[in-house]
Structure 1
Amino acid sequence: MIKTPTLARGPLLPYCLSSLRTPSHVLAITGRYRQPQLYSTDSRTRRRIHGSSTRSSAPAADRIPLPASSPAGGLPINGEATPVSASSTLGPAPLSVLPLATVLRSLGSTTISSSRVLLPPSLAIMSMLAYSDQAILNPDKNPFLRWFLKKTFYAQFCAGENATEVRRTIDGLKDIGYTGVILGYAKEVVLTDGQTRDLSSCGEGPMAEECIRNEIIPWATGTLETLRLAQPGDFVAIKFSGAGRQALYALKNRLPPSVHLKKAIDEICDLAAERDVPVLFDAEQTAIQAGIDDWTLEYQRKYNTKPGHAIIYGTYQAYLKATPALLGSQLAVASKEGFTLGIKLVRGAYLGTDPRHIIHDTKADTDAAYDGIAASLIKRQWGPVLQQDVAFPQVSILLGSHNRESVCKARKIRSSPECAGTELAIAQLQGMADEVSCELLVAKAADKTEKKTGQTTTLCGEAPRAYKYIVWGTTKECMKYLLRRAHENKDAVSRTKSGRDAAWGEVKRRARALVGLA
């Protein structure tokens, strides 16, 4: 049985640390509530909790079957299962692996983020706490405020304030089934409007020295520390805009990085290769994205020399109409030059700031582009969305998606024998889309048993490597970081109704179980 770690943040941690795995790979749940209810083919009708659908009966795809060889009666507190017929029993609801405190905190955060009424004032309060000069409103100076935020907001989304907390958090996530984390550093260089307008002044003279000292060096130092905190198999995410004015000027004008910035990036990539911790170059706003794409390709050429295993990943946004052509051209370059292309595929989050005409006209168009690109990448075959006339290159894939349907499609494709060699991971943001993440964990446990028995019972195919994207830093730094991301990704943040519905459904399921009605 896996030992449940004890973390510094106490019982309100947002990580599924009360999940234990028995020797037979049946999930055992501990916590303040009793034995979670299993879905059964002869049980009463239930509402679907993975989305906003109000149909009365949950379809089979929403229920995770336990392998036929697994003892599946109750999910026991003491690690001993009560055998019953697996033919009549399906596995636990995905969120049953989470402690009640985590479910309630998720319900609170998604209720706010999915509400047009609650989200704006909540962001205003966050902004006041993140940027106020008053000690009473500064979480790094007010012990009570810091304690409250660390038990609520911070615990929901962040990894820790120091190396000890971060490592414990990562270990805790891995202990409950996650392959690893995507770790980001919360502290960023934030420029004034005047500095942003006068980017060219940082190229030489005293201003250049100031940019190097106050912007590039702190960014590089924080990124290197993040790489040291991560473990082999984890990822580290970086934003080039965090390096300040020299980076923004070069990216905006599609120039190579300055001498000092190039030295910093090289040092980061060298350490990533040495520790086998892949680096994700995050996508940013359209004004600088073309420059990021240029830099990404250059660093992939240099570091992605191992077939099928990338150290440098670029981020590709499926909601942009130009993404299939861009990705296709970079795949063609990788094919001709013989390096592995690292691909982080996301739908895109800058709907509120990117020019509308460069984005797909409808969500259905974006979904089709995302699923079509993902299918071609996993199969390593050109298709109707990705089209080129060269051999398909080696790829490493990270799918960033909160969409259950897309995740399920990718798993089904990946489970076919011809796709077995494709390096694939799937990630969601920490504190969000837990109904998708935990379903991967339940499926992963089922996969282990299936490999022993030779039987296949999972409905969405093989469970790939599962990750959570999480940031670390002080309480105030993390609030600033998450506030900036919330403003940049406001449209995406507001589309969290499925997570809210899933958390509410789990609360009701546990309440029914508590009074013996489930």
Structure 2
Amino acid sequence: MEVTTNPIFEDFSIAFRSKSNWQLKKAYWLFSVMNRRWLVAIGKFFTKLGFALKLPIKGIIKNTIYDQFCGGETIEDSQDTINELSKYNIGTILDYSVEGASTEKGFEATTKEILRTIERAANDDALPFCVFKATGIAVNKVFEKKQKGDKLTEKEQKSYDDSVARIDSICKAAYEGNVKLFVDAEESWLQGAVDEIAYNMMRKYNKETATVYITYQMYRADMLDQLKQGHALAKKEGFYLGAKLVRGAYMEKEAERAEEMGYPNPIQISKEATDLDYNTALVYCIQNLNEIYFCSGTHNQYSNFFLTALMEENNIAPNDDRVWSAQLYGMSDNISFNLASKGYNVAKYVPYGPVKAVMPYLFRRAEENTAVAGQSSREFTMIKEEMARRKQAKKA
């Protein structure tokens, strides 16, 4: 199918209608900073230093980068963000973005918080999905060893079994609360172990509809085949495949590890190859919508428009619950708000957690915006154009 334009994302008056003039100016300043890699590096250094020296910088961070990309410090603090997005028919995916748990006590605390997000989302249309990272509640080295097929020690086996039990409790809560649940992506040396558990969860909880969704990172050369294999397995065993399609998040790390350890880099040879597989995956999911529920998690404008064209061509209603789009809070509002305004199912990933604890997440957002070709520039340009449009409208 030939698709060459994406005009639905060019209406910035819709994209930024939830933003006041002051909020737009603040976002304009923030993305102008993130447009400069050296400023991001300096900001990261001084932020870490400020926290280490216990300087009073929390307020500055909270009112700038934190406010742009996070919903609040707690689920309750995020309610205003949930309400604001819901007003424009955009769902919220509460993402507990505190990282670094490495003990059983820490894993249990994280699990309890994830269960709280599911309890909050249960039977609330404003929160259609919840999300968790399996490695946030498990020992990574154990998962890595499990994936390689190495024999686990008695202690490691208990750790693994405890992790599976935690994951099962999360999936069961989502099933009972009628909440869709994303199992977030991992590095390739962990993803297989996580997928094995996730498929078992789908066998248990995806009989009537898709509750559990596996994440497929299409920047991996083998992932389109894995999507098809997952679908074949689901069809054979009688459960629905839940699939979240993304491009990916660990490209540099994957390449460095492959070179260091002497195995083929699992990442696609080019961005074009990734884009082709991503869009082919969209076609595949649409063609097999009777067995696949999926979410297109991307900031790529072409892929988002391509999906709307596919749905129209196949007579799939914009609000069909089997098809969703998702973007990160604070980014690509021209995609999210314009899709939602036309009746498509859209949700925003809304991270939350204490300011200091979510700094690793925020650093990644800033670095990714400078690394992804033109991302900060696009955000900056769109905000600039909307500010100019409002100024002109005021004069008229």
Aligned position for 1:471: 351
Aligned position for 2:204: 302
SS of match in other structure, 1:301: helix
Q: Which amino acid aligns with 1:157?
A: F
SS of match in other structure, 1:474: coil
SS of match in other structure, 2:73: coil
Aligned position for 2:99: 188
After TM superposition, the structure 1 = structure 2 runs for residues 105-504 of structure 1, keeping only pairs within 5 Å, are 105-129=26-50, 132-136=51-55, 142=56, 145-178=57-90, 180-190=91-101, 211-213=103-105, 215-232=106-123, 233=125, 234-245=128-139, 247-254=140-147, 258-306=160-208, 309-355=209-255, 357-380=265-288, 394-416=291-313, 418-420=315-317, 423-444=322-343, 464-483=344-363, 491-492=371-372, 495-504=375-384
Pair 97,223 (structure 1): closer, same or farther in 2 beyond 3 Å: closer
SS of match in other structure, 1:313: strand
TM-score using structure 2 length: 0.84
Pair 369,400 (structure 1): closer, same or farther in 2 beyond 3 Å: same
How far apart in 1 are the matches of 2:383 and 2:71? 21
Deviations 1:102-161 (A, max 9, x none): 3223323332333233222223234334xx34332xxxxx4xx33333222221111122
8 A Cα contact 2:180 2:211, kept in partner = yes
TM-score using structure 1 length: 0.66
Gaps of 5+ in 2: 150-156, 257-264
Pair 111,489 (structure 1): closer, same or farther in 2 beyond 3 Å: closer
User: If you compute each CA radius of gyration, which structure gives the higher value, 1 or 2?
Assistant: 1
Q: Which amino acid aligns with 1:398?
A: C
| Deviation at residue 396 of structure 1 after TM alignment | 1.0
| Deviation at residue 413 of structure 1 after TM alignment | 1.4
Pair 493,156 (structure 1): closer, same or farther in 2 beyond 3 Å: farther
8 A Cα contact 2:10 2:334, kept in partner = no
How far apart in 1 are the matches of 2:245 and 2:77? 29
SS of match in other structure, 1:501: helix
8 A Cα contact 2:134 2:167, kept in partner = no
After TM superposition, the structure 1 = structure 2 runs for residues 46-85 of structure 1, keeping only pairs within 5 Å, are none
Aligned position for 2:260: none
Equivalences, count: 370
Pair 100,166 (structure 1): closer, same or farther in 2 beyond 3 Å: same
The structure carrying a bigger helix percent of its residues is 2
8 A Cα contact 1:126 1:483, kept in partner = no
Calculate percent identity across the aligned residue pairs: 26
Q: Which amino acid aligns with 1:419?
A: I
Pair 284,478 (structure 1): closer, same or farther in 2 beyond 3 Å: same
How far apart in 2 are the matches of 1:270 and 1:59? 39
Deviations 1:41-97 (A, max 9, x none): xxxxxxxxxxxxxxxxx9955556xxxxxxxxxxxxxxxxxxxxxxxxxx9553344
Gaps of 5+ in 1: 1-57, 65-90, 137-141, 192-210, 381-391, 445-463
8 A Cα contact 2:369 2:375, kept in partner = no
Q: Which amino acid aligns with 1:299?
A: M
Pair 281,311 (structure 1): closer, same or farther in 2 beyond 3 Å: same
How far apart in 2 are the matches of 1:182 and 1:287? 27
Aligned CA RMSD, in angstroms, stands at 2.7
Q: Which amino acid aligns with 1:359?
A: I
Pair 297,493 (structure 1): closer, same or farther in 2 beyond 3 Å: farther
